[in-house]
């Protein structure tokens, strides 16, 4: 190779040095990219802010006091007749006449004739029985005269003793024939009377099963009827609620249940002379209906319901069809809602159902500290609107929180929401069924 102009020999670049330089440059670019990504992705430091003040929980509250609470049980039942029977024929015959009152839905009075059978054969049987009786009485009279005559002859020893005994036996046979004739006459008269089917009580016809001219025999179903003087309703009651009821069997036994032993809550007892529990019946199908009746619990059924395992209170309602009072009829088969008046719970606190969380937890607010706390409760009684608990379940220096709280930490500060008063009314929290207790609206500073 010729020398360069500078006098130095030219540098010879080999083909193996070029790939090594390229690889070193790529690695350097990759390292610079990683370093740049790390530097750019790092979050810049921010100044620390002071911790936020805890926000007060806002709720409405209710002041409660120990009081009495009358237990009212609500149950559903169906009206049914107190007595419902099937009329059957006792003798054979053709239907001769059907009363106008023996029609479906017709009312009738006790002992009224509903249906008559042809009675010619039975009148003939009565006449024959009467004739047989007269014949038997005549035979007895002859036997009696013969026996008396033979007794006189026997005393004078003019007649053998064996012949006197024969006349005595003949007299006894004649007396037996008279007794048999009397019995047959009574039976014939009863059969004649049975051709007229009478009503055993004041009632209504549910269904007539025969018509004029139809031939019937003993046991033939003529129709079904039910009484209208009284109706009955069976109301299912949970076994645990029976202790709050005034049951007739307790009054008859003079039983007085002992202390319930539930947090100081007592029961006012009813003397045996007091009437049974009163029940108000209304129409659940039509709330605006004028149907409203008062009945009384007369007994409880001896066995529990097989399906629900509830006890059944039997409620008796007088004059269900309003025949005497003029009230709307309470027909068998009509569903009703029964409000049963039970015992009176004493020394209890009544809470609105909206105040209970998780079925058995209630939030309380300290009157002075305005802090939130919660505790579990055991209800003595509950219905659609109220939860009744012993008086000692609510601390005396606490209010009951009634607002649905999503966040309710223990010991949190509370801001009481004032009640919005109606026109002309002061802001109060009302205890259901009791006295209104005002609660001042206080705010935390």
Strands 278-282 vs 292-300: parallel, antiparallel or unpaired: antiparallel
- Give the count of beta carbons closer than 10 Å to the beta carbon of residue 146: 17
Per-residue pLDDT of the chain (445 residues; tens, 9 = 90+): 455 444 555 545 455 566 677 777 777 777 877 777 777 776 666 667 676 666 788 888 888 889 999 998 899 999 999 999 999 999 999 999 999 999 999 999 999 999 999 999 999 999 999 999 999 999 988 888 887 776 666 565 656 666 666 777 888 888 999 999 999 999 999 999 999 999 999 999 999 999 999 999 999 999 999 999 999 999 999 888 888 887 776 655 554 444 444 444 444 433 444 456 889 999 888 877 878 889 999 888 888 888 888 999 999 999 999 988 888 899 999 999 999 988 899 999 999 888 888 888 888 888 888 888 888 888 888 888 889 999 888 888 888 888 888 877 888 888 888 876 544 443 333 333 333 333 333 333 3
Q: Cα–Cα distance between 8 and 10 in angstroms, integer?
A: 6
pLDDT at 26: 74
Which 3 state secondary structure label does DSSP give 33?
helix
CA 311 to CA 303: how far, in whole Å?
7
The CATH architecture that domain 119-194 belongs to is Orthogonal Bundle (1.10)
Going by C-alpha positions, the residue among 67, 116, 123, 66 that lies closest to residue 96 is 116
Residue 354 CA to residue 427 CA, distance in Å, equals 19
pTM over 0.75: no
Alpha-carbon separation of residue 151 from 145, 146, 158, 263, 439 (angstroms): 10, 9, 10, 94, 112
- Quote the pLDDT of residue 273: 43
d(CA 320, CA 336): 13
Q: Which of 140, 87, 137, 83 is nearest to 115 (CA)?
A: 87
Tokens linked to 412 = 């949190």
DSSP per position, 124-185: HHHHHHHHHHHHHHHHHHHHHHHHHHHHHHHHTT-S-HHHHHHHHHHHHHHHHHHHHHHHHH
With b meaning 16 or more CB within 10 Å and e meaning fewer, what string describes 364-380?
bbebeebebbbeebebb
Q: Residue 219: its pLDDT value, please?
A: 92
Q: Which two tokens stand for residue 39?
A: 């530097």
Give the side-chain half-sphere CA count within 13 A for 274.
16
Measured N-to-C along each axis, helices 161-193 and 120-155 cross at an angle, to the nearest 10 degrees, of 160
Sequence spans of domains, the chain: 57-67+347-437, 71-81+230-345, 95-116+197-228, 119-194
- Whole-angstrom Cα distance, residue 204 to residue 332? 11
**pLDDT of amino acid 168:** 77
The first and second tokens of residue 287, run together, are: 């709330």
Count other C-beta atoms under 10 Å from residue 282's C-beta.
15
pLDDT at 194: 95
- Provide the pLDDT for residue 159: 60
- Nearest by Cα to 62 from 444, 443, 431: 431
Q: What is the CATH number of domain 57-67+347-437?
A: 2.40.420.20
Q: Under DSSP, is residue 331 helix (H, G, I), strand (E, B) or coil?
A: coil
State how far the alpha carbon of 189 is from the alpha carbons of 138, 217, 250, in Å: 22, 18, 48
Compute the distance between CA of residue 125 and CA of residue 186 in angstroms, rounded to an integer: 11
| CB neighbour list of residue 356: distance below 8 Å, 6 or more residues apart | 362, 377, 387
pLDDT at 291: 83
The answer to whether 317 and 233 are in contact (CB under 8 A) is yes
Strands 414-416 and 57-59: parallel
| Pick from 352, 347, 364: nearest CA to 405 | 364
**Which sign, positive or negative, has the C-alpha torsion 302, 308, 310, 315?**
negative
- Domain spanning 71-81+230-345 has what CATH number? 2.40.30.170
- Secondary structure of residue 63 in the 3-state scheme: coil
Instruction: Based on DSSP, count helices (H) and strands (E) in the chain, helices before strands.
Output: 4, 26
- Measured between alpha carbons, how far is 231 from 292 in angstroms, rounded to an integer? 14
CA atoms within 13 A on the CB side of 104: 5
Pairing of strands 386-390, 335-352: antiparallel
Strand 335-352, strand 356-357: pairing: unpaired
């Amino acid at each position: 190779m010729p020398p360069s102009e500078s006098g130095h020999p030219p540098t010879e670049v080999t083909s193996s040095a070029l790939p090594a330089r390229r690889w070193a440059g790529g690695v350097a670019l990759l390292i610079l990219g990683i370093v740049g990504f790390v530097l750019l992705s790092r979050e810049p430091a921010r100044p620390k802010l002071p911790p936020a003040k805890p926000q007060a929980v806002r709720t409405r509250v209710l002041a409660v006091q120990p009081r009495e609470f009358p237990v009212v049980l609500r149950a559903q039942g169906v009206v049914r007749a107190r007595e419902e029977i099937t009329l059957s024929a006792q003798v054979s015959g053709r239907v001769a006449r059907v009363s106008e009152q023996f029609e479906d839905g017709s009312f009738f009075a006790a002992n009224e004739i509903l249906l008559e059978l042809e009675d010619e054969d039975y009148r003939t049987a009565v006449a024959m029985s009467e004739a047989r009786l007269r014949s038997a009485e005549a035979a007895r009279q002859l036997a009696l005269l013969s026996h008396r005559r033979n007794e006189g002859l026997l005393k004078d020893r003019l007649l053998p003793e064996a012949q006197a005994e024969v006349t005595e036996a003949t007299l006894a046979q004649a007396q037996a024939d008279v007794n048999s004739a009397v019995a047959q006459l009574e039976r014939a008269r009863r059969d004649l009377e049975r051709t007229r089917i009478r009503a055993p009580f004041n009632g209504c016809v549910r269904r007539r099963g025969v018509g004029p001219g139809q031939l019937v025999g003993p046991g033939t179903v003529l129709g079904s009827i039910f009484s209208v003087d009284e109706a009955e309703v069976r109301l299912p009651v949970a076994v645990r609620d029976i202790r709050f009821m005034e049951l007739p069997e307790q009054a008859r036994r003079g039983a007085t249940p002992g202390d319930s032993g539930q947090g100081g809550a007592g029961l006012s007892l009813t003397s045996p002379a007091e009437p049974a529990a009163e029940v108000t019946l209304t129409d659940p199908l039509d709330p605006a209906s004028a149907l409203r009746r008062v009945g009384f619990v007369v007994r409880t059924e001896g066995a529990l319901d097989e399906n629900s395992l509830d006890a059944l209170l039997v409620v008796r309602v007088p004059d269900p069809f309003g025949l005497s009072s003029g009230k709307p009829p309470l027909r068998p088969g009509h569903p009703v809602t029964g409000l049963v008046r039970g015992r009176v719970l004493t020394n209890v606190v009544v809470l609105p159902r909206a105040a209970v969380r998780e079925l058995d937890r209630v939030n309380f607010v300290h009157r002075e500290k305005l802090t939130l706390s919660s505790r579990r409760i055991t209800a003595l009684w509950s219905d659609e609107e109220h939860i009744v608990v012993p008086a000692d379940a609510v601390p005396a220096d606490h209010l009951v929180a009634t607002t649905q709280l999503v966040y309710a930490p223990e010991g949190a500060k509370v801001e009481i929401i004032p009640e919005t008063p109606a026109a002309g009314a002061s802001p109060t929290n009302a205890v259901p069924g009791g006295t209104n207790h005002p609660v001042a609206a206080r705010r935390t500073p």
